[in-house]
Structure 1
Amino acid sequence: MLKALALLAALLHFAPMTQAADCKPAPLGEATLYLRGGLNNWAAQDEQAFEYRCDAYYLNLGAQGRQEFKIADEGWTPTLTFGFDASGRLARGAAVVGNASHDFGGEHTLRLSLAADGSARLEVGPRSFVPTPPEAITDRAALTARFDSRSAEFKAPFGAQPAGSEIRFSVGNDVPGLLRATLVIERRRMTGNQEQLAYEPLARIAMTPEPRGLGTGFTARFRFADIGVYGYWFELETVDGRYALQNNKDGIYWTREKGSMGPASIERLPRDLGRVRRYRQTVYAPDFQVPSWARDTVYYYIFPERFRNGDKANDPRPGGGRAQDRYQGHDVEHHARWNEKPFRPGSADGSDAVYNNDFFGGDLAGIVEKLDYIKSLGANAIYMTPVFRAASNHKYDTADYKNIDPAFGSNADFERLCAEAARRGIRVIPDTSLNHVGADSPYFNRYGNYPAGGAFDRGHVNPASPYASWFRFKPAEADVDRQYQGWVGVGDLPEIDKNSPSFRAYVYRDADSVTRLWLQRGASGWRMDVAPWVPDDFWREWRQVVKATKPDALTVAETWFDASKFFLGDMFDSTMNYIFRSAVLDYAAGRPAQQMTANLELIREAYPPQAFSALMNLLSSHDQPRALHHLGEDRDLALAKRRLRLALFFQMTYPGAPAIYYGDEVGLGGGDDPYNRAPYPWADEGGRPDAALLADFRRLVKLRHDLPVLRHGSLGAPLHVDEHVVVLARQHGGTWAVTATNNGTEASTVTVDLPFAAKRLRDALGGQAVAVADDGQIRISVPPLFGRVLVTP
C-alpha cells in the first residue's frame, strides 16, 4: 500500500496545466471517458465526463477527501479503462488491477494524456480548464416540444404493461414549426452487470399530426407483442433542423442508463444515435404472478455469524481439529468477547493478515433462540446470508451446497428453524451464489483439504473430476492464480461455467438438486447472489423448478441497478432494492427530495406493479456501510439516529417489503466491510442496545401492519415535492392514506390538492386530524426529520 501511494504521488502532479498549441485528433476517437468512482456510485455521469481538447482529456472536478476511482467509458470497455496495475502505476486494459485514488480538497482539473505507445499519464492540479459550452438551441418549435411519460395526455396506459398491450404516444408544442415527428421503438439488450448494453431497431413510426392550439401535436400507437425491455424516443424535424426528444439526464443509482423518465428533454439529433437517452418500456408476461404474501412482508435480515451464539460448542476455534477450525491453509481467529469489532487485516487491531477468517460464533441455534424477539419487532420473514458449508465467515465461498456449515449447526437445525419460525408466522429465505464456489471446497479443492476429486486438486487441473466441467481452465499459464477465473478477479471464488449441464443438473434439474432440497426442508423461497452474472436462460429454467417445487416460493435477485429485465415474469419476483436504499438514505441525510423522488418514480414506472409491491426495500446491508454510518454516526450520533428514524418512516409507509438489517433497530452502526457485519449488541453479552430506537422501530412496523393501505395501496405521482418535503397518496379500495416526510431540521407546512373527496383526515400516529377545504386542499404541518400519515376515516 505504501509503495502504491508513493507511486501515486509521482503520477498525480499538481502543477498548473497548459494546453498544447499543436492540436491532434482524439486518440480514442469518438469514445467518451468518465471519472467513475465512489463519489458517483461508479456510474458514467455527464457531470464527470472528460472533454478532449487538442492534446489531452480534461475534467473539472469538485470533490472532498480521499476518492477512489477509475477512468473508463460507459461500457467499461477494457481498452478504454484506466486504473492502477499491480505495481501501482497508471495503466489501461488488462493490466488494470486496482483503483486510482487521490485526496481532493475542492476544485481541480484532471488531465489525462496518452503517449504514442499507448501509455497514459494523469495529472491533477488547480482548476484551469474552461470547458466548451454546449451549442444553444434557439429553435422555438423544438424548445416548446413536450412529452411526459407519466401524463395520460402524452402516454397511455402508464408504466409497465403486459405483452399484447397497445400504447398511445403523443408529443406536441406551443408554436408553429414542428414539421414531422417519428416514434422510434427499439429493443434493449443487456447482459451481465450492465457491461453490454445496446438497443436494436424495431420500428420507426411516422406520427399522425393533429391541431394543438397554435402548435401541432403528433400521435402514434404501438402494440408490444413480446415480453422485454424496450427503448423509445422521438425524432423531431423543424424548419431549422432535426432533434431528439428524449429522456432527461437524471442519474439513477447504480444504473448505467441515465434518465428518470417523466418530462422529456430536447437536444440536437446526435450523429451517434447511441448517445440518445431512451425512455424505457417494460413489457411482462400476462400470467406473471408474485406470491401474494410478499407485499405483506417485513424482513429481518441476518448475517448469521454475527447475530447470536446459541451453541458455543460449534464455535470455530484456533488449533482445533474440526473442519470449522481451519480457513483454507490458515488457522481461524476467534473473538474473546462478543462485542469486539470484527478484525480487519492491516488495521493494527491485533489480527492476522488473513481476511474473513475471524469468528464470533453466531449460528442457527442463536436465531431460533431469538425468534420471539424477531416476532416482537413485527418481522414476519427472515432473510439470512448463506448458511451452507464454507470456509469463510461470510459463507459465499460455498464448499457444500447441500449441508449446513458445522459452525452454524446441522441440516436438522435448519429444519427446526423453519418449523419454529412457521409456528410464529415467520418465513425463512436462504441465500446462495450459483455463480461461484469456494476455492476451498470439494468441488474445486485448491488447498487439498478434501479427498482428491476436486476440479483443481492441490492447485492442479483434474480432468477426471466429476466437477471438471463446472470450470474453465488455462493450464498453460505458469501462475497458478491465472489458471482459472476467479469471480471479479477474486481467486478465493472460482467462477462457474453456468452453461455446464452437469452444474445445472446439480443445482436445479435433478430431483435432489440444491434448489429443490432446501425448499423441501422448509425454505419459503430463495435470494440469489450476484444474479446479473448468471445467464438469463439459467434463471428462466431455475424459476420453473422453484415454482414447480413450491408454487408460492418467492424468488429474490441481488441486483443493484434498474432491475426491469428480471421482472418480465420469467426470472424473478423481487430484488434487493439498492436504488431505494441509496435514494432514501441520501434524502434522510439531507439531500434534495427531488433527487430521491426521481429515482423512486423511475422504478414505479419501470417495474410491473406486482414486482414493485414486493421489492425488498432495505436501508442497510452486509455489502454497504450501515444506515447509521451513512447518516453521520461519527459526527453526531443523536442526529444520525433521528435521520435513521426518518428513513425508517419512509420505508414503512412506501410500497414494497421493508427489510431491517439486524441491529439497525438498536443503533448498531459500522462502515465498510467488515464493520457493517459487527455482532448484534445483546445486553447479556455486554452490549448496549438503544431501547428508545427499538421502540420507534416497533411502533412504525406496527403502523404498517395496522394499515392495509400502506401494504396494498397503489401509489400515484407525488402530490408535492420541494427541497425537503414529499407528499404521497396511497389508495386501497375505498381507503386513502396521505404520507408526508420532511428531511429539514425545521417543521414545514405545505398545501396540497387531494386526488379524492373527503372532509377530514385522521392522523394515524395520534396527531391532530386535518380538515379538508371545500376546494379539496389540505394544509399539512410536517415535523422536522420525520413525517405524518393521514388516513380517511
Structure 2
Amino acid sequence: MQIVHQSRSKTFRCPFGARPAGSMIMLALETESEADEIDFVLLDYAYGLDQFYDGKIMMNEQTQPVDDPAGAGASASETADQENLRLLEKRRFTSSVHLPGLPCLLFYWFEIRLKNKGCLYLCAHPSHDGSGLITSGPPLYHALETRQPLPFQVTVYRENFETPQWFRDATLYQIFPDRFRRGADFDLARFHQTRPEPERIYHDNWSDEVDIKGLPGQGYQATDFYGGSLKGIQEGLPYLRDLGITALYLNPIFMAKSNHRYDTADYLNVDPMLGSNEDFEALCQAAAQAGIRIILDGVFSHTGADSIYFNKYGRFPGIGAYQAVWDKTISPYFGWYNIHLNQGQISYDSWWDFPELPAVREHDLTFREFILGEKGVLATWLRRGASGFRLDVSDELPDDFICELRQRVKQVKPDAVIIGEVWEDASNKVSYGHYRDFLLGNTHDGVMGYPFRQALVAFFKGTIAADELNNSLETLRENYPPQALACNMNLISSHDVSRFITEVAGPLPPPENRDEQIRQKLDPAQRALGEKKLYLACFLQLTCPGVPSVYYGDEIGMEGYRDPLNRRCFDWQLVGSPLNLRLKELLQLRRRYPLLARGKFECLSASGSFYAFRRYINADGLDCCGQLCQNAGSEIRVLLNAGDKELQIRQADLDLTLEPYSACLLSGDQKLLFKA
C-alpha cells in the first residue's frame, strides 16, 4: 500500500514550516484508491516541551479527480513526491488543526486503521526530505527517549515574535580581537608591561606562528598574545566597510587570563591588552558612522578561576568565592558557585571539568542581578554602544535565564540582537534532558549556523550531493520560525572549527595532532581548488536565507585547523590579492540586491553538483518574514555548479553554460545579474 505525506509540499501541509501560536494549519495524507481496506485515518499529535499533551483527530476523506494537479503552482520538488500518486485514483484524508496558543513543539503522525490491522506513518527522518515511512511502532519524541523513529514536527512560536531588521539585512564579520590588527599607537615595551603575568607569552612579531606548547613546565594555556586591540579594529573599519560588512561580532573583550577570553575575569571592563572602556565606546561611535554595528560575546555560564569573582590565585583585590571557602570568610560572590571544602580539599563545579572555568549558578539572585539587572552587565555594555550579544554555550544556560536576559536587552535597546551558540538544529535541541526554548520567540533572535556549515562542508568535500545539501537547508527552513531563520548566522568558519578552505581542500584524513597540523599547508593544487570552493561557499552564504558571516581572514584565504591554528594573525599583506578582490566584489551582493536577504526561498533543482533556487517576493509585497517591502513581484535565480565539469542549462527560456566551479545570478526574466 502506498501512502504519501510530504511536509514540505503545500498539498500536504499548508502553510509551510513553523507557525505562530494559535494559528491554523491543514494536514493531508493520500493513499491509493484500491486501498479500500482502510476504514479511517487518525491524525495523532503531541505538543509541549517538558510535558507533552497528546490526542487524536479523525481525518476527513475527500475525493480528488485523477487529473487535478493537487498543488498547482507547487515547485518541482513538491510535485516530484506526487508523481506516482498522480497516475492513480487517490483517497485523500485532511484535517485542519488549530495550533496551541502558547509556544511549543507540536509533533504529529498518522494512524491508518485497516479492516484487519493498522499501521503508522512517521517522518522518514534520516532522509531529511519531508517524506514519511510506514512503521508498526510508535514514534519516540520525548526528550529522554532515543527520538528514533521521529514524528513530523511543527515549531509553534510566539505570535508577536520579532527580530531586528538591521540584523536580518546584515553582512556579518567575526573578529578574534587579539589577532585582527594592532593599533597605530602600539608600543612594544608597553605591550610587555600591560599585564606581566608569568604564564604569558608576548609575540613581538605579528607574523609569528601561534603557540601550541605553552611555557616550559606549564603546558598550553592559550596565553600567548600579539597586541591586537580595539583601536586596531577601529582603524580597520574603512577596510571592513569597503568589504561590504555591516555588523561585527567580537569574540570576548572583557578582562581575562587567556587570549580567547572565555574565562572572564571582570565583566565590566575591557581587557587592558585590548584597550579601555573608552576605546570601546569610540569604536562603536566610529563603526556607527561607517554603517556598522557591534555585537559582543557574552559568557555567562562560567567565569575564569583567575577572576574578581572566584579569585583562585589571589591576583585581584577583595575576596573571591575560592578564598571565602578556604579562609571561611565572606565573599559577595560565594553564592555564584557550587564550591565546597572537604577534608582540606576544595572542589567545585566547572564547565566540562576545566578547572580554569568554574561554572556559575545562574539561578543565584545576586548573579542574576549583576548580569541582568537594570544597571547590570548587559545594560552597561548596551549603553556603551553594543548592538547585541552572542551568547556563549546557550545550551548551558537555563531557559528562564535567557528569557530574562532577552527582556532586559530589549528593554534597554529594543533593536538589539541576541544570537545563541547552538551546534545542532536549535528548534528541537535537547540538553540536560529537556527540549530547549531556543527559537520560540522567548529567548534568542537567531543562532549560530553550524548545521548550515556542516551541510556546505559535506557538499564541497563531495560526500553529499546537491539534493542532500538542499534537504539539510530545507530542514532548517521548515523547523525555524522565518524571522529566526533570517537571523541564522550562516558561517563556514569560526574560532571553534577549522577554517573552511583547510576543511574542504586539506588532506584526508587530516593530521591528528597539533604538531602535525601546524606544519600542514595546502600545496598549490590544493590551494587553487580550495579557493574555488571557498568562493562558491561564500556565494551560498550570501544567497541563502540567513545572515552571511565571514570569519576574519577567510576573505584572504587564511588556512588553519582547529584552535589555536584557526586563530592566527590577520595577514594584511594579502589584502588586495586576487581572492580578496573577488570576495570583496561578492560581499557587495546584499547591498546591491536586498532581495537576497528578504526574499522567500524555493529550490528549483538539486542534483549532483548542480544547485538552483530562487529568492522572490510575490505580488503582495510580503517578504520572508511577512513584512511589506519594496520588491513586490521581483525574483532572483541562483545557479551553482560545484563540479569539475561544465554544465549546459537548456530550458524553454534559458540557454546557459555553467563552467566548472562557477555560479551566477539571474533576474526573473533570465537576464544575467552577476557571474561568479
Asked if TM exceeds 0.5, the reply is yes
Query: In the aligned structure 2, how far is the partner of 1:569 from the partner of 1:239?
Result: 44
1:242·1:269 contact (CA, 8 Å) conserved in 2?
A: no
Deviation at 1:240, TM superposition (A): 5.9
294-303 or 263-272, which deviates more:
263-272
Look up the match of 2:547: 657
- 2:587 is aligned with 1:725: no
What is the aligned counterpart of 1:614 among 476, 487, 499?
Answer: 487
SS at match of 2:181: coil
Query: In the aligned structure 2, how far is the partner of 1:342 from the partner of 1:286?
Result: 48
Deviation at 1:691, TM superposition (A): 0.8
Query: In the aligned structure 1, how far is the partner of 2:406 from the partner of 2:611?
Result: 37
Deviation at 1:462, TM superposition (A): 5.2
Aligned in 2, Cα 1:411/1:221: closer, same or farther, shift over 3 Å?
same
SS at match of 1:600: helix
- 2:581 is aligned with 1:695: yes
Look up the match of 2:667: 791
Deviation at 1:334, TM superposition (A): 1.2
Deviation at 1:585, TM superposition (A): 2.4
What is the aligned counterpart of 2:291 among 425, 444, 450?
Answer: 425
What is the aligned counterpart of 2:186 among 305, 312, 335?
Answer: 312
Aligned in 2, Cα 1:608/1:751: closer, same or farther, shift over 3 Å?
farther
1:305·1:362 contact (CA, 8 Å) conserved in 2?
A: yes
Look up the match of 2:25: 167
Deviation at 1:479, TM superposition (A): 4.9
Deviation at 1:209, TM superposition (A): 3.1
Look up the match of 1:186: 46
Query: In the aligned structure 2, how far is the partner of 1:399 from the partner of 1:737?
Result: 48
2:642·2:662 contact (CA, 8 Å) conserved in 1?
A: yes
Gaps of 5+ in 1: 1-140, 191-198, 251-258, 753-772
SS at match of 1:621: coil
Aligned in 2, Cα 1:241/1:364: closer, same or farther, shift over 3 Å?
same
- 2:17 is aligned with 1:149: no
Query: In the aligned structure 1, how far is the partner of 2:281 from the partner of 2:175?
Result: 17
Query: In the aligned structure 2, how far is the partner of 1:608 from the partner of 1:426?
Result: 26
Residue by residue over 1:321-340, the C-alpha shift from the partner in whole angstroms, topping out at 9 and shown as x without a partner, is: x5x221xxx42011232122
Equivalence map 1:89-108=2 (5 Å): none
Query: In the aligned structure 1, how far is the partner of 2:656 from the partner of 2:48?
Result: 43
Deviation at 1:215, TM superposition (A): 4.8
1:455·1:463 contact (CA, 8 Å) conserved in 2?
A: no
Query: In the aligned structure 2, how far is the partner of 1:339 from the partner of 1:521?
Result: 33
2:324·2:330 contact (CA, 8 Å) conserved in 1?
A: no
Deviation at 1:515, TM superposition (A): 0.5
- 2:381 is aligned with 1:518: yes
SS at match of 1:494: coil
Amino acid at match of 1:186: A
Equivalence map 1:60-71=2 (5 Å): none
Query: In the aligned structure 1, how far is the partner of 2:358 from the partner of 2:499?
Result: 28
Gaps of 5+ in 2: 65-87, 428-436, 507-521, 618-631, 670-676
Equivalence map 1:620-769=2 (5 Å): 620-633=493-506, 634=522, 636-683=526-573, 688-689=574-575, 691-716=577-602, 718-732=603-617, 733-750=632-649
What is the aligned counterpart of 1:572 among 425, 435, 444?
Answer: 444
Residue by residue over 1:373-412, the C-alpha shift from the partner in whole angstroms, topping out at 9 and shown as x without a partner, is: 1111110111110000101000010011110000000000
Look up the match of 1:340: 208
Look up the match of 2:629: none
1:382·1:427 contact (CA, 8 Å) conserved in 2?
A: yes
Query: In the aligned structure 2, how far is the partner of 1:272 from the partner of 1:520?
Result: 46
Equivalence map 1:130-529=2 (5 Å): 141=1, 144-174=2-32, 175-176=34-35, 177-189=37-49, 200-211=52-63, 214-224=89-99, 225-239=101-115, 241-250=117-126, 260=128, 262-270=130-138, 275-310=148-183, 311-313=185-187, 320=193, 322=194, 324-326=195-197, 330-345=198-213, 353-457=219-323, 460=326, 464-476=330-342, 479-480=345-346, 483-509=347-373, 511-529=374-392
Deviation at 1:200, TM superposition (A): 2.4
Taking every aligned residue pair, what percent have the same amino acid on both sides?
35
Aligned in 2, Cα 1:187/1:488: closer, same or farther, shift over 3 Å?
farther
Deviation at 1:589, TM superposition (A): 2.5
2:423·2:449 contact (CA, 8 Å) conserved in 1?
A: yes
Look up the match of 1:758: none
611-620 or 172-181, which deviates more:
172-181
Deviation at 1:616, TM superposition (A): 1.4
Query: In the aligned structure 2, how far is the partner of 1:653 from the partner of 1:317?
Result: 42
Deviation at 1:186, TM superposition (A): 1.5
1:455·1:462 contact (CA, 8 Å) conserved in 2?
A: no
Query: In the aligned structure 1, how far is the partner of 2:91 from the partner of 2:656?
Result: 40
Query: In the aligned structure 1, how far is the partner of 2:29 from the partner of 2:668?
Result: 37
Look up the match of 1:67: none
Deviation at 1:261, TM superposition (A): 5.0
Query: In the aligned structure 2, how far is the partner of 1:316 from the partner of 1:356?
Result: 21
1:316·1:325 contact (CA, 8 Å) conserved in 2?
A: no
Query: In the aligned structure 1, how far is the partner of 2:182 from the partner of 2:216?
Result: 23
Query: In the aligned structure 1, how far is the partner of 2:418 from the partner of 2:657?
Result: 40
Aligned length: 596
- 2:475 is aligned with 1:594: no
Deviation at 1:629, TM superposition (A): 0.8
Aligned in 2, Cα 1:424/1:172: closer, same or farther, shift over 3 Å?
same
Query: In the aligned structure 1, how far is the partner of 2:423 from the partner of 2:282?
Result: 33
Residue by residue over 1:34-71, the C-alpha shift from the partner in whole angstroms, topping out at 9 and shown as x without a partner, is: xxxxxxxxxxxxxxxxxxxxxxxxxxxxxxxxxxxxxx
Q: TM-score, normalised by structure 1?
A: 0.72
1:427·1:523 contact (CA, 8 Å) conserved in 2?
A: yes
Query: In the aligned structure 1, how far is the partner of 2:375 from the partner of 2:460?
Result: 46
Look up the match of 2:625: none
Aligned in 2, Cα 1:536/1:734: closer, same or farther, shift over 3 Å?
same
Aligned in 2, Cα 1:479/1:516: closer, same or farther, shift over 3 Å?
same
Query: In the aligned structure 2, how far is the partner of 1:363 from the partner of 1:462?
Result: 40
What is the aligned counterpart of 1:582 among 454, 468, 474?
Answer: 454
Residue by residue over 1:631-657, the C-alpha shift from the partner in whole angstroms, topping out at 9 and shown as x without a partner, is: 114361111111101101111111221
Query: In the aligned structure 1, how far is the partner of 2:473 from the partner of 2:490?
Result: 11
Deviation at 1:672, TM superposition (A): 1.1
Look up the match of 1:767: none
Query: In the aligned structure 1, how far is the partner of 2:237 from the partner of 2:328?
Result: 45
Residue by residue over 1:443-482, the C-alpha shift from the partner in whole angstroms, topping out at 9 and shown as x without a partner, is: 00111111241011298375621011111123227654xx
Query: In the aligned structure 2, how far is the partner of 1:247 from the partner of 1:341?
Result: 49
Query: In the aligned structure 1, how far is the partner of 2:293 from the partner of 2:190?
Result: 28
Amino acid at match of 2:92: G
Amino acid at match of 1:639: L
2:322·2:339 contact (CA, 8 Å) conserved in 1?
A: no
Amino acid at match of 2:168: R
Amino acid at match of 2:587: V
2:191·2:273 contact (CA, 8 Å) conserved in 1?
A: no
Amino acid at match of 1:411: N
SS at match of 1:659: strand
Amino acid at match of 1:614: C
Query: In the aligned structure 1, how far is the partner of 2:481 from the partner of 2:5?
Result: 22
Aligned in 2, Cα 1:624/1:648: closer, same or farther, shift over 3 Å?
same
